[in-house]
Amino acid sequence: MLTRDQRSRVRQIGWIIGLCMLAVLPCRAQAAQAPPLPDPVRVSTGTSEEPRISGLLITWTDVTGFIGAGGGLRTAYCLMDPMTQVCPVQYVPETAGGQIHPDVDGQFIIWQREIGWKSNSPIFVYDTVRQQLWTLGDGILPRISGRRLVWARVVDAVTAQRDLFTCLFDPETGACPEEVVADSPDSQVLADLEQDLVVWFEPRGVSGGAVFYRDLGIPGSPIQDINSAGSPRLGPTASRAILQDGILERVLVWPTFFSDRQARDLHWCRVPGGEACFGEPLTNDEDLESGADLSGPFLVWMGSDDPKQGTVKLLDLRHADLPPIIVSTPDTDDAPLFQQDPAISGNRVVWKEGVISGNQPHRPLEIHYRVIPVQFLRGDADMDGKVNLTDAIFILQYLFQGGPVPPILDAADVNDDAKLDITDPIQLLQHLFLGGPPPAGPFPVAGLDLSPDPLN
């Protein structure tokens, strides 16, 4: 039986439900072999840094043509068309000084003014749908998840001590009343967040530090530290995902430095309620693991035995015992590729890439994009591990109400016709309530999509 809330949501799209009386939709047969990894798409054509992605919205710092031109660096963005793989480049409105350290979530892009690590700068929020710009308080290295922002602020210019602050952004008024996340003599930097879960790194010496987290969704929640072998090093990342048994878990990943061998391995933990988080190793090789980013159960990072090169890798934490997927390798016929700063949203990965000659790139660092085939359950559009009414509503909200992009677009392609349209929620509703045909494979068990199309 539907709950009161579900009935209310169905009434909002009642005209869609009525379409369930259409003719039964056919299922498509699957191909015999899994599709090959698609070619990467070049998003930017000039020197670019700091790529980030949310849904189909990609942002980065555009360096080409702005250095020395009086305006500094610019924050660029584009909205990827999943069918044509075309992403027309645009820029956020000009603001005083250069624009650096962008981040994106939903329709919102944030960045800071180009000043430096020891100086605070204004933080800006841009609504790409309403094309509205807001200026917030001062800080550095901002991050956004939903309506929550987190950033560091220099509170002592002599010691460069940085405390962490947060606020809940109101897109109607631009208000964002700030509150302290963490303040201590140690500097809090390189923060990340997933909704109300904030995680950050405190450097301690030249070869290590500590990772902490705090759940801001619980009033008065304490700061928790992470118990980890080795010494945490560089920035942690956070996400929420269904890993097993249908339970939503909060996951942290961070690089860890071991002094006995010059390598950084990735460690992870599942955040319990009000208890310490105990780290477990994810990788154990001689590579320098860095640049980790999480989206749901998918982890992407750069691993290399040469800091000038790198291999972008993806690991599905639901199957953490399996080898990672190689997203992009540094091998070319003429020169080694320089690859860094991977970021991920669902199974969509972006990174910066160029060709190194000596100590300088002789091909501009450009932003590349690739959709990675991963295991999924067809019809599970919101990726909660189940196929039910909420998935049909999720697809409809994406198609007609500006709702979130499905984490895996192929999962929302219920009839596997290589496009997302009204026929997909119709078939799902028919299956759920009218005895219609089930979603195309992989269903009812998760797996790879064996039919090659632009969505996978």
Query: Read out DSSP for 295-357?
Result: ETTEEEEEEESSTT--EEEEEEGGGTTSPPEEEE-S--SSSPEEEEEEEEETTEEEEEEEEEE
C-alpha pair distances (Å), 349 with each of 298, 335, 375: 10, 23, 16
Cβ proximity of 379 and 411 under 8 Å? yes
- pLDDT bin (cut points 50, 70, 90) of residue 367 is very high
Around Cβ 81, how many Cβ atoms within 10 Å?
Answer: 12
pLDDT score at 323: 87
What tokens appear for 287 in the block? 């590579």
- Candidate ranges 217-221, 296-300, 364-368; pick with highest mean pLDDT: 296-300
Nearest CA-CA partner of 299 in 228, 251, 366: 251
Residue ranges per structural domain of the chain = 4-33+392-433, 41-371
Burial class (CB within 10 angstroms; exposed 0-12, middle 13-18, buried 19+) of 341: buried
Check whether 5 has a pLDDT greater than 90: no
Q: Pick 360 or 166 by higher pLDDT.
A: 166
Q: Where does the pLDDT of residue 447 fall: very low under 50, low under 70, confident under 90, or very high at 90 and above?
A: very high
Mean pLDDT, residues 29-57:
77
Statement: residue 360 has pLDDT above 80: no
Residue 41 has pLDDT above 80, yes or no: yes
Tokens of 311: 């291999």
The C-alpha atoms of residue 178 and residue 239 are separated, in whole angstroms, by 23
Instruction: Say how far residue 62 (Cα) sits from the centre of its chain.
Output: 20
pLDDT for 337 beyond 70: no
> Does residue 144 carry a pLDDT above 90?
yes
Q: What is the mean pLDDT of the chain?
A: 82
Task: Report d(CA 203, CA 382) in Å as an integer.
Answer: 37
Which is it for strands 224-227 and 277-278: parallel, antiparallel or unpaired? parallel
SS3 call for 446: coil
Read off the pLDDT band of 16 (50, 70, 90). very low
Q: Pseudo-torsion of CA 30, 32, 37, 40, nearest 10°? A: -50
Least confident piece of the model among 25-39, 212-226, 316-330, 362-376: 25-39
Of 205 and 312, more confident: 312
Query: Whole-model pTM?
Result: 0.88
Q: How confident is the model at residue 15 (pLDDT cuts 50, 70, 90)?
A: very low
41-371 fold: Methylamine Dehydrogenase; Chain H (2.130.10)
Interval 145-164: pLDDT, tens: 999 999 999 888 777 788 99
Instruction: Return d(Cα 395, Cα 387) in angstroms, integer.
Output: 12
Which of 58-67, 282-291, 338-347 is the least confident region? 282-291
Give the pLDDT confidence of 173-189 residue by residue, as tens digits: 999 999 999 987 777 77
**379-438 residue pLDDT tens:** 999 999 999 999 999 999 999 999 999 999 999 999 999 999 999 999 999 999 999 999
Does the structure show a pLDDT above 80 at 221? yes
82-125, pLDDT tens digit by residue? 999 999 999 999 988 889 999 999 999 999 998 765 689 999 99
Mean pLDDT, range 19-34, rounded to an integer:
35
β-strand 209-215 against 197-203: which pairing, if any?
antiparallel
Give the percent of the chain with pLDDT over 70.
78
Query: What single-letter amino acid sits at 297?
Result: P
Q: Which of 12-21, 206-215, 250-259 has the lowest mean pLDDT?
A: 12-21
From CA 141, how far away is CA 125, in angstroms rounded?
13
320-334 pLDDT, tens digit per residue, is 888 899 898 765 555
* pLDDT on residue 362: 52
Are the C-beta atoms of residues 108 and 126 closer than 8 Å to each other?
yes
CA atoms of 180 and 302, how far apart (whole Å): 32
d(C-alpha 88, C-alpha 92), whole Å: 13
Question: Which region among 23-27, 32-36, 62-66 has the lowest average model confidence (pLDDT)?
Answer: 23-27
DSSP run (H or E) holding 430: helix 423-433
